Structure 1
Amino acid sequence: MATGEDFLALLQAVGASGPDVPKPTPVEKFLATHPATVAFVTAPKPVAVSYGTQPFFGVNAFKFTNAQGTAKFGRYRIVPEGGPTYVSDEEATHRPPNALADNLRASLEKGPVKFHLLVQVAAADDPTTDATKIWPDSRPTVELGEIAVTKALDTEKVENELLYMPTNLTSGIDASDDPLINSCTEAYAESFGRRTAK
């Protein structure tokens, strides 16, 4: 989705659709006018062995400025140190619902699970305000550091304590004009408020 409004419209269309709804359903009508969404929902999505073998791709662009004042736009990538590994489609259909987390915990018993923190650097003509536009893999990446997961925390406790804010950025990194960044910030703040109000 390119905007928060589009994402809301998709959720409303899904909620209004179902087996008894006349064709074309609201979600079918939505998809007919949103080709980027169709491309996403129909693209192959392999299932990782665990959260520790799953690469993560940031879809929003941020502006990175070095000490000399040179600025470049980029998108985050978090790549498993050993590379991504997936299960077969057949195995994926028979796995327990918590397999991703359970397999990560099993790996942590042997030591830290590590990832490379990368930034894919945009070319001058790459769009930075539309998360649905994928930049070519030929764009260079810069490694910013390493992420090491050392232990698994109690999920429910963490969910009630942590608040991720995409606009809470460190010096030298600024948000782009991608409208999803502010939409996500507002949505996450609302979610956190509802969770902690229980």
Structure 2
Amino acid sequence: MQHLTAEESADWGPGHLLDELVGRLPDSFTLKAQFAGPEDPTADPTQAWPADRPELDAGRLEVREPVADQEFWDRAVFDPTRLADGLELSDDPVLAYRKRAYAEGHRRRTAGPELSTLE
């Protein structure tokens, strides 16, 4: 993981992350689900569960190229708390924070240059 200062990213345009992603394509990811035991903490994402917990390969995502309708997706806000029927969020408080953080990031990306930098 790389941490950047505001100065290091000051000249990034609104499409910087998409441009970087395109440079890494194609790529693929395997989604794994690990099952908690009855004593495993779910409200603290810094606490690792024991390695012997069962895991399931839930699927593989392959990203080959950017979508043709990127402008549509640029207007969308990613919300990790929107779930399909039958799924529930855990009691992990980070999820509630991410919802607000992603909404704020979207607001800054779409608000124009005066609001796009961290305040």
TM-score range, shorter chain: 0.5 to 0.7
TM-score (normalizing by structure 1): 0.40
Distance 1:167 1:195 in 2: 21
Q: Kindly indicate whether the alpha-carbon contact (under 8 Å) linking 2:22 and 2:65 is maintained by their aligned counterparts in 1.
A: no
Distance 1:188 1:132 in 2: 20
Q: Does 1:181 align with 2:77?
A: no
Higher helix share: 1
The residue number in structure 1 matching 2:15 is none
The residue number in structure 2 matching 1:129 is 43
Higher strand share: 1
Distance 1:193 1:129 in 2: 28
Q: What 5-or-longer segments of structure 1 have no aligned partner?
A: 1-97
Counterpart residue type for residue 114 of structure 1:
S
Which gives a bigger RCO, structure 1 or 2 (Cα 8 Å, sep 6+)? 2
Q: CA RMSD in A?
A: 2.8
The residue number in structure 1 matching 2:105 is 191
Distance 2:73 2:46 in 1: 28
Q: What 5-or-longer segments of structure 2 have no aligned partner?
A: 1-19, 113-119
Mapping of residues 100-119 of structure 1, within 5 Å: 102=23, 104-105=24-25, 108=26, 113-119=27-33
Counterpart residue type for residue 50 of structure 2:
P
The residue number in structure 2 matching 1:166 is 80
**CA deviation vs aligned residue, 1:103-140 (integer Å, no higher than 9, x gap):** x33xx3xxxx3332220111111000001101122111
The residue number in structure 1 matching 2:16 is none
SS of 1:148 mapped into structure 2:
strand
Q: Kindly indicate whether the alpha-carbon contact (under 8 Å) linking 2:77 and 2:106 is maintained by their aligned counterparts in 1.
A: yes
Distance 2:22 2:110 in 1: 24
TM-score (normalizing by structure 2): 0.63
